[in-house]
Amino acid sequence: MTLFGWGVLKGMGVTLKNFLTSYFRKPDEGGIFTVQYPEEREKPVENYRNFPFLVYDGTPEKIRCVACGICERECPPKCIHIEMELDAAGKPARKPAVFDIDHGLCMNCGMCEEVCPFDSIFMDHAFEVTAPERQKNLVRHKKELSKSNEYFKKIRPALASAVDQKRKAAEEKKKAAVPPPPPQSAGGQAQTTAQGPQ
Amino acid sequence: MLEINFGPQHPSTHGVFRMTVQLEGEKICGLKPVFGYLHRNHEQIAENLPYAAIMPYTDRLDYVNALANNFGYALTVEKLAGLEVPERAEYIRVIMAELSRVVNHVTVIGFMLNDLGAFFTPLLYAFRERERILDLFEAVTGSRLMNNYFCFGGVKRDLTNADLAAIRKIVSRFPAFLEEFEALLTKNEILCMRCQNIGVLSGKAATNAGITGPVLRASGVNYDIRKVDGYGVYGRFDFKVPLGQKGDVYDRFYVRVLEIRESLKILDQALTQIPQGEIMNKRSPSILKIPRNFKPPVGEAYGRVESPKGELGFYVVSDGTPQPWRYHVRAPSLINLTVLEEMCLGQKIADAIIILGSIDIVLGETDR
Amino acid sequence: MKILVEEVKKELETRMPDVKLRLIRDSLLIEDPQDLPQVVLFLKENPKFLLDHLSSVIGADYLDYLESIYHLYSMAKKQGPVVLRVRVTKSSATVPAPINGHKAEPGTAQNVFDERKVKAGKIPSLASIYRSAELQEREAFDTLGILYKGHPDLRRLFMWEEFQGHPLRKDYEQEDTEVLETADIAWLEARGVKVPEAMKEKAKALHAAGQRAVAQKPEKPRAG
């Protein structure tokens, strides 16, 4: 007949074993696996999605976004607000003048990344967002959202290189589709300049 | 007679759940649950959104295992629109659903033991394993909890060989953890004395009250939607359905432990059988890119999955526009609470907490 | 295993010839709601069907009428769904207290009403046959205003007791939460809260016009 309380004692044996081995084992095998944040940080995985950001190629003026408003329409909690920039003549220049995303509404679903036809909005990894007051920093404007293509390559290398390849292939196809200029009869100089971009 | 509030702010009610309990001394003579503290009007939000945009909201119903909700919703819309799912995607869905089931059961057992007084030890042992699975979810789907991974006709991202190796490692480690867990808990005298013969529910009463899931199977009724409906590719796997005998709290706890073992068996088989191939139906990329163009034919569909908590059903009525006309979620947590009063009458107040913990509710689903 | 709905219809027509049924896609519409309990009881106890699991009771609003949809499964024989529908015309008489007119005494439940006193089309409740209908019928009543006759405890499930209106109806207008009504002001003052005069004037004006404080919808929807 087993002793009454044997189950409890066996359980205590398990906890004792766990306690003692936690000093010797590696974190993956039963040791202490706490990451002492913020002194140590884990490297985020590539696919981790947190909050959107806008990509620019080179300088912030060359932002890829054309303010089409598709992400604004498809966003489920409607947290994006876009206003198109108007150029000197009052016609829409294909760039956003205002691009606001509300941190309080965004639910990090990634739909804006999925629907963008211009490869301009992707999900970022930055989660250390704090502000001294409740009203500051909750709405992110275009300046804070624009990040360079190099940053994009650093945080999401596989996706960034795939997007770059796709854009390069599309650009080359566009250039190949432009018919070559007709040959100039007067002077070799005009001919060279005409053939420049090829 | 004393009437007290097991108020919405309580560490053991698994969310903002309120019960008004009438007591005579320590014995319960009446219990009425009060719902609605987390009511977010999920069904009306969905009536104004295109079908693909509702998927992130379904994650937030049963927030402990988001993939089961995604599965149910994707299944329903695929029934409605007649979309086929390629084989590799079906296998990936089963793998994700079973990993999610393991996570949920391990969390539930941990929290139930927390309610019993085993302050956090089994819970944190369980969370060690859960962290590995959540890290895998982050690498594959992008987020630890709110996965948003399924789409109509497949899944959004493929599993690389590294991911498959990670899953194999998790699955191979789990039995050792389960042995340790069972050595800690199953024959523990305190657990046995506090859980056996408490909150007994008969099989007939359970069937009549629409109870599904581990609660029903602990009462002895053999009904598992994975076997009955055979949705996805569950028909190809060989697994048993564990049943309990008495229908008390201990049986519900032990049925969940056995179900984790069965899930590991399914995972083993799925990982060996998974084929190469497409992960999305041919129409899926266009549904994802332009959600407003997806207009399923006029009609309705009711799709149900075996979520770890019970039968999770989605009812979608389409009227030919991009938004659904009516969208309803049949939440197992809400229906399983029908019998809470019956199970708690005559028990002591401390047992009411354990009975509630064994039913396994999550308020996101109960109140939607 | 699926059950063919035509078989169910044929069986029901032979056993109960005076129950009128209509086939709508894969479901059976029971024309007269009062026939529902006998149909369901037959399907539950007949050894060919043995549908002992009421999976869900769902309400839906189809503009002219409200519909209540039932999905029945069999646990004993592991058989597929039988879908039953019942329709009832919409009536605003489900709101138990008149707008802007209920008394506000602290400690009393204001909107626990007796559904026998409300004149509107009612669907017989299945709570006595299947216990799983209890909470689901309460939810259909709360969100859509479908009344179930014979339900043991028909009151709101998610919204609080004094809430007026049924949110999932297509013609539901959302309240403006910034503007108080006379009923709200009476409730607050009964509990000793001071209400500013400007809000009281506005509430009196609304009451005189017989209107509710509804949120203004934006003129055009946001960017398509």
Segment C129-134 mean pLDDT: 90
| Closest chain B C-alpha to C203 CA, distance in angstroms | 27
Give the closest of C60, C78, C158 to B36, CB-based: C158
Domain ranges of chain C: 5-156, 174-216
Interchain CB contacts (distance < 8 Å): B and C: 77
pLDDT at C57: 92
Is residue B313 within a helix (H) or strand (E), and if so which, with residue range? strand B310-318
* CA closest to C224 among chain A residues: A73
A14 or C118: which leads in pLDDT: A14
Chains that touch A (3 or more CB pairs under 8 A): B, C
Mean pLDDT of successive 10-residue stretches along chain B, which has 368 residues: 87 86 89 90 90 91 90 92 91 93 92 87 88 90 89 90 91 90 86 88 89 92 89 88 90 92 92 90 87 89 92 91 91 91 89 89 90
- How many residue contacts between A and B have a Cβ separation below 8 Å? 78
Position B216 scores a pLDDT of: 92
Whether the pLDDT of residue A28 is over 50: the answer is: yes
Average pLDDT, chain C: 79
Residue with tokens 């709508």: C24
Q: What is the model's pTM?
A: 0.88
Contact C157 B328 (CB under 8 A): no
| C-alpha distance from A108 to closest chain C C-alpha (Å) | 21
User: How far away is chain A from the Cα of C215, in angstroms, using its nearest Cα?
Assistant: 19
Which element (helix H / strand E) includes B330?
strand B324-330
In this predicted structure, which of B328-342, C7-21, C105-119 has the lowest mean pLDDT?
C105-119
Among candidate residues A46, A17, A41, the one with its CA nearest the CA of residue A156: A46
Rounded distance between C-alpha atoms, residue B206 and residue B202, angstroms: 6
CATH 3.30.70.3270 fits B38-367, yes or no: no
Given CATH 3.30.460.80, say whether it is the number of domain C5-156: yes
pLDDT tens-digit series, residues C54-77: 999 999 988 888 889 999 999 888
Mean of pLDDT values over A95-106: 87
**Which of C51, C50, C40 lies closest to C125, judged by CA?**
C40
Domains of chain B, by residue range, sit at 38-367
What SS3 class is residue B62? coil
Average pLDDT rounded to a whole number, residues C154-182: 80
Disruptive mutation site among A25, A51, A107 for chain B (greatest number of B CBs within 10 Å): A107
Closest CA to B210 of C67, C15, C54: C54
Contact B53/A at CB under 8 A: yes
Q: Inform me whether the pLDDT recorded for A195 exceeds 90.
A: no
* Structural domains of chain A, ranges and CATH numbers in brackets: 13-41 (no CATH), 51-176 (3.30.70.3270)
Query: pLDDT at position B215, please?
Result: 92
User: For residue B19, which phi and psi values (nearest 5 degrees)?
Assistant: -130, 135
DSSP states of C89-150 = E--GGG--S-TT-----TTS-TT---GGGS-S-EEE--TTT-TTHHHHHHHHHHHH--EEET
CA distance B312 to B305: 5
Any A CB within 8 A of C223 CB: yes
Nearest CA in chain B to C134: B338
Whether B10 contacts chain A with CB within 8 A: no
State the smallest CA–CA distance between residue B287 and chain A in angstroms. Answer: 10
